[in-house]
Chain A
Amino acid sequence: MTNSEATTVQDERGFWKDTGKTGITSWIFSTDHKRIGFLYFYTVFSFFLVAVILGILMRIELMAPGRTIMGPQTYNALFTVHGVIMIFLFILPGFQGVFGNLLMPIQIGARDVAFPRLNLLSWWIYITGAATIITSLFTGSGPPDTGWTFYVPFSARTGTNVTLAVFGVFLIGMSAILTGLNFVTTIHRLRAEGMTWGRIPLFVWSVYATAWVQVLATPILGITLLLIIAERVLGAGLFDPGRGGDPLMYQHLFWIYSHPAVYIMILPAMGVISEIIPVFSRKPIFGYGMIAMSSLAIAAAGSLVWGHHMFTSGMSDLAVLVFSFLTFVVAIPSAIKVFNWVSTLYKGSISLEAPMLFALGFILLFSIGGLTGLILGSAATDIHVHDTQFVVGHFHYVIFGGSGFAFFGAMHYWFPKFFGRRYREKLALAAWILLFIGFNVMYFSMMVLGVEGMPRRYYDYLPEFHALNLTSTFGSWILFAGMVIMLVNLFHGLLRGEPVERNPWGGATLEWSIPTPPPTDNFVEEPVVTHGPYDFKGSGIP
């Protein structure tokens, strides 16, 4: 598709140019999916940076045994707020809100999502929820100290401001349900002519699977959180055995949502990787159908494994057996994806530009995260490492090394499309190297500490754990340096970067066929799709 004449007609600032409304209202009241995507990006990413600082502070506290820069209560608040922000304000809304919004409509050849105003409402509810959570930190009797899991009975009894924080998370959940509903409808009804189910890009498949998880699982989180409030405010006794309640019931309800939520974090990340790998290997993706179906399989099977968080909780032995078995089943579709990516790389003509580096980093770090997950999924080994730093290392490998790296990769991959400029490749490489090294030094040390018996969620530890903790803290500084360089590079590119064409990487999905930056209506004329998303030859890309 070459319609370069259209570019000259088009205002070259595309959707960035004024829309009639002025100043900030042209953003916060915009129903354009691209503007909403950027609203999400700037809010979500700001929260991410705040939580990174909290993480760095925790690592400084753990540099040496005993009190280093804070006491136990502050540390408890820090890991709670770090966890809540990272999970509920960054990674859960992040992929769907930012990249789902920015790209999914374009990739299926639509002008916008099915319900643009509902889309805007989702962001507003998100912001309201975020504001509520932030308010909870500075009001009442101190920031929550329960951990991001809000386990009863502690969350029902602690004097800190749990009620408000939990209500904020409830609102965030509502926003996610609306986004999910919107995206499912969009993908079903707004595909362009010729955009058959077999031709939608794999990123869209993963957004689709994720949207279903958002719609089906999030209500359970909402109800569970309201039950905590009922417990705290009304003294309902639902989780209090003294009054006929059951504390394990809370853990069931919480993880029925929160394990599938892990897939809300990882599935779109896998979708991003499935876009990047073929483009930078100059080869059609290996096993399109298998990757697409494994997204759905992960979403479905992943809903049945929540009990693996409860092996040491005292639930029935039969349940331990069943959930341990089911957990191993989910490893299959995840492995299918990894094998297909690697097969795509095989004999490709690989170019190691920034997005590809992050994609390769993803594959390695996610595999480490996934395999250590099997150690936690086997009941016998889990009993040894449950609630230790091993768990902390494991899930950072999955959500940071996995989803986080994919998020950075997506930022680098689609940056030229939306800003029409390039960042410096050399600096991106330097940043990636630091991120990768820092990450492994920091979290691998934590996993080793866990196996040696250091528990999680403590501000202090026995002297024999000192060396590895110090190493881990050094790692966090290397990681931080990488992050600073990455952001400076992107920011510099945004202001000064050299301008790019519409298709700098040579991608075959629809977003690369439209002008850069995309026009407000995305497509100059309604697209008719004649080839698959990774058919580079069919779309005339050398």
Chain B
Amino acid sequence: MSSITPEQHVVSYGKLAATWLALMALTVLTIWVSFQDLGIFRVWAALSIASLKSGLVIAIFMQMKYENRLLKWLLFLALATLAIFIGLTFVDVLYR
């Protein structure tokens, strides 16, 4: 039987602050983009920035970056499942 030893990873203040600044910058970018006339790409732009932001939060603030491989896979699996479900639903909605 193997045992789990939870590793406490301490993220430095500098890094936390940098992440926070990056998030703020991305928020500004979101607002700026919303004023640009990008047509259909507007949604894609907004969604990409949002994904980037949540990625940062999950990786640094929620410490997923320092977790073991298994946990990363679990997260990936859950997100991939969600993406597939939404994708297949759109095969109906977009072509109805």
Contact = CB atoms under 8 A, between A and B. Distances in A.
Interface of A: 189-193, 216, 220, 246, 248, 252, 256, 303-304, 307, 310, 314-319, 322-323
B28 interface: no
B85 A316 contact: no
B81 interface: yes
A319 B81 CA distance: 18
B96 A307 contact: no
B92 interface: yes
A6 to B, nearest CB: 21
Interface in B45-70: none
Contact of B91 (A190, A191, A256, A318): A318
B78 A318 contact: no
Nearest to B84: A304
B40 interface: no
Contacts of B95: 316-319
Contacts of B92: 248, 252, 307, 310, 315-316, 318-319
Contacts of A319: 88, 91-92, 95
A516 B1 CA distance: 25
A534 B40 CA distance: 59
16 contacts: A189-B1, A189-B4, A193-B1, A216-B78, A246-B93, A252-B89, A252-B92, A256-B85, A303-B81, A304-B88, A307-B88, A316-B92, A316-B94, A316-B95, A319-B91, A323-B88
A319 B94 CA distance: 10
Contacts of A256: 85, 89
A191 B1 CA distance: 6
B89 A322 contact: no
A352 B67 CA distance: 52
Main SS class of interface, B: helix
Smallest CB-CB A-B distances: 8 pairs: A319-B92, A316-B95, A315-B92, A318-B95, A316-B96, A319-B91, A316-B92, A252-B89
A258 B94 CA distance: 23
Nearest to A195: B1
B5 interface: no
A190 B4 CA distance: 11
B12 interface: no
A213 to B, nearest CB: 10
Given A189-B2, A192-B1, 5 more contacts: A248-B92, A252-B89, A304-B84, A307-B88, A315-B96
B81 to A, nearest CB: 5
Nearest to A246: B93
A319 B85 CA distance: 13
B4 to A, nearest CB: 7
A252 B91 CA distance: 11
A193 B84 CA distance: 37
Nearest to A193: B1
A69 B78 CA distance: 49
A317 B96 CA distance: 7
A315 to B, nearest CB: 4
Contacts of B81: 216, 303
A282 B1 CA distance: 31
Contacts of A190: 1
B92 to A, nearest CB: 4
Contacts of B1: 189-193
- Select the residue from A191, A319, A323 with max chain B CB neighbours within 10 A: A319
Nearest to A306: B88
A238 to B, nearest CB: 14
Contacts of A192: 1
B50 to A, nearest CB: 21
Nearest to A215: B78
B44 to A, nearest CB: 22
A355 to B, nearest CB: 31
Nearest to B89: A252
Contacts of A304: 84, 88
Nearest to B81: A216
A218 B89 CA distance: 17
B96 A322 contact: no
A139 to B, nearest CB: 35
A154 B92 CA distance: 22
Contacts of B85: 220, 256, 303
B91 A322 contact: yes
A329 to B, nearest CB: 13
A299 to B, nearest CB: 11
A189 B3 CA distance: 8
A497 B85 CA distance: 51
A244 to B, nearest CB: 14
Contacts of B2: 189
A316 B91 contact: yes
A323 B91 CA distance: 10
A361 to B, nearest CB: 34
Contacts of A322: 88, 91
A303 to B, nearest CB: 7
B52 to A, nearest CB: 25
A315 B92 CA distance: 6
Contacts of A252: 89, 92
Contacts of B84: 303-304
A220 to B, nearest CB: 7
Contacts of B78: 216
Interface string B1-36: 110100000000000000000000000000000000
Nearest to A318: B95
A220 B88 CA distance: 15
B82 to A, nearest CB: 9
Interface string B74-92: 0001100100110011011
